[in-house]
Structure formats: structure tokens, C-alpha cells
Amino acid sequence: MFKLYFFLMVAFLNSCINGYDGSVMSGINAMTYYQSYFNIEKTGQETGIVFSAYTIGNIVGSFFCGPFTDWWGRRWGMFIGASIIILGTCVQAPSTSLSVFIAGRFVLGFGIATCATAGPSYVAEMAHPAWRGTLTGLYNTFWFVGGIPATWVAFGTASVESDLSWRLPVWLQAVASGLVLLGCLFCPETPRWLVSHDRHEEAIRVMARYHGEGDRNSPIVLLTYREMIEEIATEGSDKRWWDYTDLVNTRQAWWRLLCVVGMAFFGQWSGNGAVSYFMPTLLDTIGVRNPKEQLLYNAILNVISFIMATVGAHFTDRLGRRPVLLMGTSLFVLWWTIIVTLTALYGREGELSNTNISAPGARSAIAFIFVFGITYSFAFTPLQALYPVECLAYETRAKGMGMYNLFVNVAAFFNNYAIPVVFEKLKWRFYFIYIAWDAFEAIFIYFFFVETKGRTLEEINEIFEAPYPKKKSIQKHIVVVTDCGVLDKGLEDC
């Protein structure tokens, strides 16, 4: 079992890579040596290109990560993604021109797309069925294990009086990628990938060793293997790198895609994008204008968010996916309503950007911004990798996660480039959009999101085959072991 945890930890490092690479550039962008070396400002067209190159690389990579992970396997998908990231680091870190630096950012983003597809797929397919929800939920919490060091590294190297202040954080991008590269050499391939490639004996050995405590006749091994051979096609679309039709060619495929795309946009547009954008402005209003102090506040929030995300991962199996998401989105509506009220009452003309806001009002607004961040980390962070993986059938899992990654980046692109423009016109009234949107999210989740708790990945297929998948998903489900074998049955009433 400890070997299994080691293999899953290697996969978790893919989330660390994403967290570090996605966070470190914000700190580097504030460094004077970086700005003077490339003759660049904190804001402006060139800075926008530097940041967008990473996102564009991620979007382009979304169309390749599925075929990589389907064709060569989940573990080699992680290996390929880590290799591309190391290549991007070697281009970016020693760069002597801004164009080369931007090219390195593009390559990094491309590699991240593959890691973000192969990593959660490996965890979900390799984890013991009894712990799949918690372990796959923990995958995304490791974003903070990369994001927090990135923040502190930038905080520490900001004091270095040389170009090393920004080159060192860039070089450190290769650390987690290198560990993934080496770790993949020791990881077994997932049983589902092996079954899909007609390597049944290898799949049984992997399941017996890591799920059945060495017993090939363990009930969990027998049940899982039986479901795999019934549900996984050896000639499925995962063998055709160009074929994405299975994502949209049936009613159940559309329902799956609805859940996946919904999770992609809800995970980015619930208000978390505005939190990261407005935090410096809010801190300015109460007199915290020192960039290093603002970085410290942000680092503290990251630590708290990591703790709450870890706690949330533990509760995804206890409470279920739907209840956690419904609770989170409902609280988002409440928190944004309170923030809007505080802004309107304490800001002159209700503008948070105004430095004459009363200190108590600003502190209260910041407190509820923190509360929002904590709630988001508990409810959404663990499920951002877990839920889409569970909703996708095996044949479409890698390509579907590639599309999930695509929509996440499209939503994030909007956060980075549209919110500032809209906010400039609407000011604090922009928060009303979040209130309405989060209310819509709660309604959408209630009627369309399925419950995946307590089922194997193959049993989830039965949910989407039903006329109304959401109703089918909240039925009780039992597994019975008899002398004649393993039986499973879904009950009609909750």
C-alpha cells in the first residue's frame, strides 16, 4: 500500500508543477532586476504578452495532451509533460531577450496541459476504489504545495541584488518536473489503460498487488476487473488520436460534457478570479502598500487555503460531491452580498479603489474576501480535478480532460483580461454579477450535476445511461459479495 501512495505522490507532483508555474510569474513581474533587464513595466502590452503566452501554450497543449495520454499511457503522459516543462525552463531561465523568455513561457504552458491531463487521470484510475474520492480530491490541493513555495521563493529572492533574483525562481520550475520524470520510471501503468490495450494479465497483477493485498481473488479485484472488461472497449476512440466524436455523439456524452464544462467555468468564475485581482487594491485601502507586505498577506491566504482544501478533500467522500458544491455556491452568494453591502456603505460612492474608505469597512470587506477564499478552497479546489475525471468514461477521459483544461484556460483568460476592463466601468457594482452567477451555478448544479460518491469509475457509466442521470445518481447503491460471486445493485429509492 505504501508503494501505491508513492506512485500517487508522483502524480500529485503534477499539480505542484501547475501551482508553482502558475504562481511564480506574479512575483517575478514585481522584481526591479527583471523589469530593468527586459526593459519592461509591471503592466502594459509586453507584460500582457508574457502572461498570456503561458495561457496560450496551455490552450494549444490541450489538443495534444489527450492523444499523448491515450496513446502512450497515463504514466508516460506525465513523463512527456514533465519533459516539455523542463525544456521550457531551459529556454526561459537563461534567456537574454524578451522574445526567448516568452517562447519559454509558451513551452511551459504546453507541458502543463499534458501534466494536468495525465496526473489526475492516473490518480483516479490507480487509487484504491475505497479512497478514490479523497485521494483524487487531494490531487488538486497540491496546487498549493507548488503555489506556496513559489510565493515564498519570490519573496526571498526579491532581496537579491542581481539578475539571480528572477532567474533562480525560474530555474526552480524544473525541480518538481524532474521528480516526476524520475518517479514515472518506477510507476506501474493503470489497470484500465492496460485492459484497454488487451493486456489483461498485467492489469490483474497490478490490481491484485495494490488493491487486493496480493490476492487475485479479492472481491474488489474481481468486481473492478469484471466492470472493466464490460465497459472498456479495446477498439475505442482513445486508440484514434484524431477522434473526439465520442465526447458529443450521444445524449449521455452530452450530459457528461455538460458536467465537465460546467465544472471548468464554475471553478473559475465563482469569484476567485476577482479575489486575486482585487486583493492588492483592498490592502492599499487600509494602508498596506508595501509590495512585500502584500506578498506576505497573499502567502498567508495560500497557506490557509491549502489547509481548507485538504479538509475539503476529506469530506468529499463523506458528504458527497453535489452537497459540497451546492453548499459552496450558496455561501458564495451570501459572501458576495455581504461584500457588496460593506462596499456600498463604507466607500465614498461605493468604490473600493477610493483611498478614503473607512478602515473598519475595508477590513470587514477583506475579512469576507478571506472567508470567500476559504469556502472556495473547501468546496471547489478538491473537486476541480476529481469531478471531471469521474464524469468521463474511460475512452474519453484523456481527451475530455484535455477539453476541460481548454475551457479552464478560456475562463481564466477572461478573468485575467476582461475583469479589469469591466471593473473599470462598473466599479464595485461588478460584484452583483457574481451574486447572480453564483445563484445560477447553484441552480444548475442542483438540476444537472450527478452524484459520483460511492461508485467505481465503471459504475458511474450506469448513471449517465439513465433517462435522467441526476435522479439516478442519488439512488442508493450497494455491492453484495456471495458464494456465487460479486453482485451489485442500484436501489430505486433513497
DSSP codes, 41-77: -SSSHHHHHHHHHHHHHHHHHHHHHHHHHHHH-HHHH
CA atoms 361, 364, 370, 372: torsion sign: negative
CA-CA-CA-CA torsion sign (17, 207, 252, 467): negative
Label residue 73 left, alpha or beta by phi (over 0 means left) and psi (-120 to 50 means alpha): left
Residue 482 has pLDDT above 90, yes or no: no
Give burial (CB, 10 Å; 0-12/13-18/19+) of 151: buried
Is 480 strand, coil or helix? strand
Q: For 109-164, how does the pLDDT look when each residue is reduced to its tens digit (9 = 90+)?
A: 999 999 999 999 999 999 998 888 999 999 999 999 998 888 788 878 888 889 99
pLDDT number for residue 292: 65
State residue 240 phi and psi, 5-degree precision.
-110, 105
In our burial notation (b when 16+ CB lie closer than 10 A, e otherwise), range 313-339 reads bebbbeebbbebbbebbbbbbebbbbb
pLDDT (tens digit, 9 = 90+) per residue, 179-231? Answer: 999 999 999 999 999 998 889 999 999 999 999 888 999 998 998 898 888 87
Q: For the chain, give the percent of residues with pLDDT over 90.
A: 52
pLDDT in tens, 73-86: 999 999 999 999 99
pLDDT category of residue 431 using cuts at 50, 70 and 90: confident
Check residues 465 and 284 and name the one with the higher pLDDT. 465
What is the rounded CA–CA span in Å between residue 262 and residue 228? 27
Confidence band (pLDDT; 50, 70, 90) for 281?
low
Cα–Cα–Cα angle for 148, 151, 152, rounded to 5 degrees: 90
